[in-house]
């Protein structure tokens, strides 16, 4: 695959379950290298998006290309370059951990057995224990090992740390950073833990109402969405009619307004129209996410 190509392209993708559209003419293009965090409310369609990206679910409309090939007809050589951790790991419960690792490794030409051993030891996964007796967190760690050990070019993760304790999450995120450090590999992961995403992701995709409502650098999102604290000598109207407002709370001569459009003209209008002082407040990713979904 040419390094200039996108590792994933989804064009006008729609996926319906019954009559309900989960993805609705969705567009997403992820370039080679870097880590993309996928955010969305529960039920927003994050798992469906990942399954369509991998060719595990077929959309009714649109096209999906992964590693330069149609997702629904991936070649064996392309599949070898992809790693995937589902939200609920699918393991052979009757097999011991080491046997599962050895069995999985036999399908990959560039399986890194040493990396698998190191991760099992670092994450304290009991190699002689049957998979069916592992804790939820241990099973999730094992699923991550199986997705990482063949050193994939593109790693897709669906809520990969939901069952991990903080120490294990930190170790996992460290590994993810190491994977993408060279710039030739890519990671797409969904999570509801915004602090983890802020720690490792350099791009954010927000899935909302079946579409990607924002895709770009994390810093760009933070620069775009701000909260304004307004104080006036007069009483504010019940509602501001200003461009880009996401949320507004008005009490007499004080107001908090979250906007995705801050311009000098907007600030001048607020100051002159309502004789208000304006304080611009930065928001973290969790606060931005809540503001974007306040009206849902």
Rounded Cα distance, 185 and 282, in Å: 32
Token pair listed for 48: 């469906």
Identify each DSSP E strand in 218-274 by its residue range.
226-232, 245-251, 254-259
Rounded Cα distance, 66 and 29, in Å: 10
Query: Which residue has tokens 């969705």?
Result: 26
Going residue by residue through the chain, which has 296 residues, state the pLDDT in tens, using 9 for 90 and above.
Answer: 444 479 999 999 999 998 889 999 999 999 988 899 999 988 899 999 999 999 999 999 999 999 999 999 999 999 999 999 998 888 999 999 999 999 999 999 989 999 999 999 988 999 999 999 999 889 989 999 999 999 999 999 998 877 777 888 888 888 877 777 666 789 999 988 888 888 888 899 999 999 999 999 999 999 999 999 999 988 988 888 888 888 899 999 999 999 988 888 888 888 888 889 999 999 999 999 988 886 65
CATH number assigned to the domain comprising residue 121? 3.40.50.300
* 46 and 11 share one domain: yes
Rounded Cα distance, 203 and 217, in Å: 4
User: Minimal CA–CA distance to 213: which of 282, 270, 158, 288?
Assistant: 288
Q: Domain of 277?
A: 225-292
Rounded Cα distance, 120 and 116, in Å: 6
Task: Give SS3 for 218.
Answer: helix
**1 within a domain of the structure (yes/no):** no
Q: What is the pLDDT at residue 192?
A: 81
Asked whether 1 and 69 are in contact (CB, 8 A), the reply is no
Task: Give SS3 for 38.
Answer: strand
Asked whether 236 and 250 are in contact (CB, 8 A), the reply is yes
* 235 and 160 share one domain: no
* 119 and 197 share one domain: yes
Rounded Cα distance, 203 and 190, in Å: 12
- Domain limit, last residue, from 187, 221, 255: 221
* 95 and 200 share one domain: yes
* 53 and 108 share one domain: yes
* 208 and 238 share one domain: no
Using left for φ > 0, alpha for ψ between -120 and 50, and beta otherwise, residue 124 falls in: left
Q: What is the pLDDT at residue 295?
A: 61
* 128 and 240 share one domain: no
* 281 and 214 share one domain: no
* 17 and 82 share one domain: yes
**257 within a domain of the structure (yes/no):** yes
**152 within a domain of the structure (yes/no):** yes
**254 within a domain of the structure (yes/no):** yes
Rounded Cα distance, 55 and 73, in Å: 7
Q: What is the pLDDT at residue 270?
A: 86
Q: Calculate the alpha carbon distances from 257 to 138, 178, 224, 287, 288 in Å.
A: 44, 39, 14, 13, 12
Asked whether 188 and 156 are in contact (CB, 8 A), the reply is yes
How many C-alpha atoms does 263 have within 13 Å on its Cβ side?
8
Task: Give SS3 for 156.
Answer: strand
- Domain limit, last residue, from 169, 189, 221: 221
**276 within a domain of the structure (yes/no):** yes
* 208 and 104 share one domain: yes
- Domain limit, last residue, from 221, 245, 276: 221
Q: Is the pTM of this model over 0.75?
A: yes
Rounded Cα distance, 34 and 195, in Å: 18
For 107, other C-beta atoms within 10 Å of its C-beta total 11
Number of domains the chain contains? 2
Terminus-to-terminus CA distance in the chain, angstroms? 40
* 215 and 230 share one domain: no
User: Minimal CA–CA distance to 60: which of 7, 109, 20?
Assistant: 20
* 76 and 132 share one domain: yes
For 128, other C-beta atoms within 10 Å of its C-beta total 8
């Amino acid at each position: 695959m040419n390094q200039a190509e996108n590792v994933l392209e989804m064009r006008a993708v729609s996926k319906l379950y019954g009559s309900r559209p989960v993805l609705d003419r969705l567009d997403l293009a992820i370039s080679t290298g870097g880590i993309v965090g996928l955010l969305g409310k529960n039920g927003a369609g994050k798992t469906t998006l990942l399954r369509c990206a991998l060719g595990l679910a077929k959309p009714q409309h649109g096209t999906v290309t992964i590693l330069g090939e149609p997702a629904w007809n991936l070649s064996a050589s392309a599949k070898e370059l992809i790693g995937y951790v589902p939200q609920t790991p699918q393991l052979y419960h009757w097999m011991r951990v080491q046997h599962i690792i050895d069995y999985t490794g036999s399908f990959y030409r560039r399986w890194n057995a040493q990396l698998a051993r190191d991760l099992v030891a670092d994450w304290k996964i009991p190699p002689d224990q049957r998979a069916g007796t592992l804790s939820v967190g241990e099973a999730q760690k094992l699923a991550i090992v199986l997705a990482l050990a063949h050193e994939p070019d593109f790693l897709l993760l669906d809520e990969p740390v939901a069952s991990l304790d903080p120490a294990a999450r930190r170790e996992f995120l460290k590994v993810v950073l190491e994977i993408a450090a060279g710039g030739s590999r890519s990671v797409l992961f969904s999570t509801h833990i915004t602090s983890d995403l802020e720690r490792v992701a350099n791009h954010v995709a927000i899935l909302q109402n079946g579409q990607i409502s924002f895709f770009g650098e994390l810093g760009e999102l933070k620069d775009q969405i701000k909260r304004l604290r307004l104080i006036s000598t007069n009483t504010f109207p019940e509602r501001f009619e200003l461009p880009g407002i996401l949320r507004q709370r008005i009490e007499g001569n004080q107001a908090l307004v979250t906007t995705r459009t801050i311009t000098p003209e907007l600030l001048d209008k607020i100051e002159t129209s309502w004789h208000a002082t304006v304080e611009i407040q930065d928001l973290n990713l969790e606060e931005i996410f809540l503001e974007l979904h306040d009206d849902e």
